[in-house]
């Protein structure tokens, strides 16, 4: 009789969709399912979700993934998901109210007050991350003022993945990566009583859940959860990680000195460090990994691939396939014949490796002879220059290997340009559902099917494609990077002025139409292109 295939289940609950993936112990996807979840906006700047609806979607995807996988021997499961926000639960284990999400903006004015009175700096120095409206400490204070009954009903705070794990096991808990953006001292991996008291939040201390190791069994599937999902009663459930480091684990980034980047709608660079190392004046997101002092430090530039989409439109080449666009890019030598592109095209400015809400994009050093191919090559290189600057700020060594994923990484042209411009070896992964893969590896460790994460990931296998930097281009791109940063810093002081001109132009455009004024005198010759 043939033995059943052994597998683990990885659950990834994102902001707008949840996924459940059954993965064999050798890394094959045996079953997968996805379901969407709604974001509710009952008032301006609000972003909420129904916690029961999220759990229902998870239960549905688990059932569907198990059905697709067939007769497998599940060893365990683990969970990742969106971070931050406030997911408050009452003493009966029911939602105390809707989940307030990480992108909720109701506390924006309170953030400004905290930055002015020094509390923002206290949060930054303790947690390693800047304050923002969706962070738990500022949200709890906001909710205390706006809906005190909610805080009275609440018995504990559980973020998205912790809520799902609670529904599976009945165990209240979290882990250090999730807690890092709450009241955790990321340097020690423990809640900071100094931060809690410094913010005047002693009354909220009761809401903070206990911390468990991410690769430990935190609980087991209850009879109720088994009925709702089809999971076996008593199945071990590992604690898991928040989405950012879980995706890194899925890529194979687990030890100090290892790094990864994501090039999607936004960009991202993260590096695992033995301890906190980034300067406090850099807008780094720092997450403790539940391994003593070990952290992941991250920078997240605002815009990634939208720069490419916009450039294709702006150059009048929207009708070309991307393969044709990249033929034009490859026809231009490295350095784009001196054309530079500042990839700060987000309407709200830039957030990494610097913060400037007035930042804007620009092509520089163009002439009437500049070709569309040169403009496009400059955009590809500009994105890579931004990623390279983030790598430098995070202390990622010049000869390091950086794993790359995201929609932009599907292009070998992008991968090679990132390798050449940054000087790093780029390893591209085509694995789908990296978060589920990452926590699936945690589940293997938790149940004893692998001794540690490197061994678990080795069992899963690798699909790496390597792009080596061309050493002949090193001097060119080093000089290019210096000019890129110098020119950017020089024009930066004018960004607010440009925004002011933009606002004035919009205001003028919105004013009542007036009679057009002739641009040429009546006897002026016609303008021709010959």
Q: What is the mean pLDDT of residues 318-347?
A: 97
- Please determine, for residue 524, whether its predicted confidence score (pLDDT) is greater than 80: no
- What tens digit of pLDDT does each residue of 160-195 get? 999 999 999 999 999 999 999 999 999 999 999 999
Residue predicted with more confidence, 486 or 430: 486
Q: CA-CA distance, 530 to 526, in Å (whole number)?
A: 11
Q: What is the mean pLDDT of residues 315-322?
A: 97
- What tens digit of pLDDT does each residue of 114-146 get? 999 999 999 999 999 988 999 999 999 999 999
What pLDDT is stored for residue 282 in this prediction?
Answer: 87
DSSP track, 303-365: -STHHHHHHHHHTT-TTS-HHHHHHHHHTSPTTGGG-EEE----TT-B-SSS-BTT---EEES
- What tens digit of pLDDT does each residue of 257-296 get? 999 999 998 899 999 999 999 887 889 999 999 999 999 9
* Closest to 93 measured CA to CA, from 48, 13, 152, 155: 155
What number does CATH give the domain 306-423+470-495?
A: 3.30.420.40
Domains in the chain: boundaries: 5-244, 306-423+470-495
Q: CA-CA distance, 338 to 416, in Å (whole number)?
A: 19
- H-run or E-run covering 9: strand 5-13
Strands 17-24 and 29-36: antiparallel
- Residue 38 pLDDT class (50, 70, 90 cuts): very high
* Closest to 113 measured CA to CA, from 128, 85, 133: 133
- Please determine, for residue 514, whether its predicted confidence score (pLDDT) is greater than 50: no
pTM (2 d.p.): 0.89
Residue predicted with more confidence, 177 or 431: 177
Average pLDDT, the chain: 93
What pLDDT is stored for residue 519 in this prediction?
Answer: 36
Percentage above 70 pLDDT, the chain: 96
For residue 452, the tally of other CB atoms under 10 A from its CB is 14
**Contact between residue 51 and residue 93 where contact means Cβ atoms under 8 Å apart:** no
What pLDDT is stored for residue 517 in this prediction?
Answer: 37
Q: CA-CA distance, 178 to 100, in Å (whole number)?
A: 15
- Which residues are registered as beta bridge partners of 267? 263
What pLDDT is stored for residue 529 in this prediction?
Answer: 37
What number does CATH give the domain 5-244?
A: 3.30.420.40
- Please determine, for residue 463, whether its predicted confidence score (pLDDT) is greater than 90: no
Domain 5-244 and domain 306-423+470-495, same fold? Reply is: yes
- Please determine, for residue 528, whether its predicted confidence score (pLDDT) is greater than 60: no
- Please determine, for residue 395, whether its predicted confidence score (pLDDT) is greater than 50: yes
**Contact between residue 215 and residue 453 where contact means Cβ atoms under 8 Å apart:** yes
The top-scoring range by mean pLDDT among 349-353, 399-403, 406-410 is 399-403
- What tens digit of pLDDT does each residue of 440-455 get? 999 999 999 999 999 9
Residue predicted with more confidence, 11 or 280: 11
Q: What is the mean pLDDT of residues 378-389?
A: 99
């Amino acid at each position: 009789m043939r033995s059943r295939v052994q597998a683990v289940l990885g659950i990834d609950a994102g902001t707008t969709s949840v996924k459940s993936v059954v993965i064999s112990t050798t890394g094959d996807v045996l079953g997968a399912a996805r379901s969407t979840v709604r974001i509710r906006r009952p008032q301006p700047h609000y972003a909420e979700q129904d916690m029961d609806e999220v759990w229902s979607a998870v239960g549905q995807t688990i059932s569907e993934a198990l059905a697709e996988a067939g007769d497998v021997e599940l060893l365990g499961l683990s969970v990742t998901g969106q971070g931050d926000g406030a997911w408050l639960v009452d003493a009966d284990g029911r939602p105390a109210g809707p989940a307030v999400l990480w992108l909720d903006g109701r506390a924006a004015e309170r953030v400004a007050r905290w930055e002015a009175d020094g509390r923002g700096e206290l949060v930054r120095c303790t947690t390693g991350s800047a304050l923002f409206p969706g962070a738990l400490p500022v949200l709890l204070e906001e909710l205390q003022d706006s809906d005190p009954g909610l805080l009275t009903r609440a018995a504990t705070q559980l973020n998205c993945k912790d809520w799902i794990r609670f529904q599976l096991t009945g165990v209240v808990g979290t882990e250090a990566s999730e807690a890092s953006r709450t009241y955790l001292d990321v340097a020690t991996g423990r809640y900071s009583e100094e931060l809690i008291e410094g913010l005047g939040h002693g009354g909220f201390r009761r809401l903070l859940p206990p911390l468990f190791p991410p690769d430990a069994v935190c609980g087991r599937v209850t009879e109720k959860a088994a009925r709702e999902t089809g999971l076996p009663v008593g199945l071990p459930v590992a604690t898991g990680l928040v989405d950012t480091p879980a995706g890194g684990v899925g890529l194979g980034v687990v030890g100090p000195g290892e790094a990864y980047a994501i090039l999607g709608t936004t960009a991202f660079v993260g590096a695992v460090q033995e301890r906190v190392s980034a300067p406090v004046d850099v807008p780094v997101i720092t997450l403790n990994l539940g391994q003593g002092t070990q952290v992941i430090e991250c920078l997240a530039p605002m815009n990634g691939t939208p720069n490419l989409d916009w450039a294709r439109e702006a150059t009048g080449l929207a009708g070309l396939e991307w393969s044709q666009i990249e033929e034009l890019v490859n026809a231009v030598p490295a350095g784009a014949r001196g054309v530079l592109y500042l990839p700060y095209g987000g309407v709200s400015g830039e957030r990494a490796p610097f913060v400037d809400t007035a930042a804007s994009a620009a092509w520089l050093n163009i002439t009437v002879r500049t070709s569309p191919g040169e403009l496009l090559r400059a955009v590809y290189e500009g994105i890579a220059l931004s990623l390279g600057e983030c790598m430098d700020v995070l202390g990622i060594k010049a000869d390091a290997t950086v794993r790359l994923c995201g929609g932009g990484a599907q292009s070998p042209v992008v991968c090679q340009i990132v390798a050449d411009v940054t000087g790093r070896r780029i390893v591209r992964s085509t694995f789908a559902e990296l978060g589920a893969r990452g926590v699936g590896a945690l589940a293997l460790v938790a149940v004893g099917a692998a001794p540690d994460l490197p061994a678990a990931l080795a069992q899963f296998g690798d699909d790496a494609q390597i792009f080596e930097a061309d050493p002949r281009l090193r001097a060119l791109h080093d000089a290019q990077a210096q000019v890129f940063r110098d020119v950017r810093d020089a024009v930066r002081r004018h960004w607010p002025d440009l925004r002011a001109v933009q606002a004035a132009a919009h205001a003028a455009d919105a004013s009542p139409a007036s009679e057009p004024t002739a641009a040429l005198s009546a006897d002026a010759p016609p303008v021709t292109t010959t």
